[in-house]
Structure 1
Amino acid sequence: MLRTIDEVMSTPVRTISPDTSLREAAEVMRDSDVGDVVVTQDNRIMGILTDRDIVVRCVAEGGDPAQHTAEEVCSSELATVPPQSDIRDAVHVMRTSAVRRLPVVDGDRVVGVVSMGDLARAVDEDSALADVSAADPNR
């Protein structure tokens, strides 16, 4: 039986405001052992910011993460899925949108994030991606 996204998504969602500095966002990611945060304003999702966004769109360009904000580098054109979606739907959205993480939204409210690793574990717990995703983060 196919599982639904609300069974495999990661919660709680780490959120930041658009004016949060990239340095502060990176600290939230570090302290929460996550690779992304959702950018929200007035409880509405505005974007998703990943550790890779900070590196590629700020640091690699010579920017100072303390001087740039989440709003400046987050991905704002979002693909999302509702919590009732089945795993196949999420895989399809990831493929067609070429993304590794999907915010899970219930109406306007973000309730979780589902990653490729979450889906890999749900589909095949013995896959290499599932093993890597389940491993403790590097310190």
Structure 2
Amino acid sequence: MTVTAESALAGVQRIIATYAQNIDAGNTDVVADLFTEDGVAEIEGQDTFEGRETIRKVYGQFSPQTPQLHLVGNTVLTSEPGEEVTATSNLVFFARGEEGWGIQLVGTYEDTAVLVDGEWKFRRRVTKFL
């Protein structure tokens, strides 16, 4: 299968958007299934979580208690297209409180994604805060 820059970027953007929508909705199973079996989620200042089942368990603890919204954009590939690519995206996280919506954090995602049976999956997702 030939992977073009356009198809790789579209695939990575799809899993990033699926991640954001489902983490905000508290759909832990969907989020975990976006990672490879041996996937890694590293959250700066917190910890590194290895393996899909560990990610599922840990992200279940992050289930939203109030409305929240991850806005992710400006995604660019940082490697040549292939069956594994790296990408960087900007992140703004909002939460709704008594005063309305407010920015809680700003950061970046640094992703390594791979094709698994024709579907893009996160091999490694590093969240950094600015």
The structure richer in strand per residue is 2
Q: Same fold (TM over 0.5)?
A: no
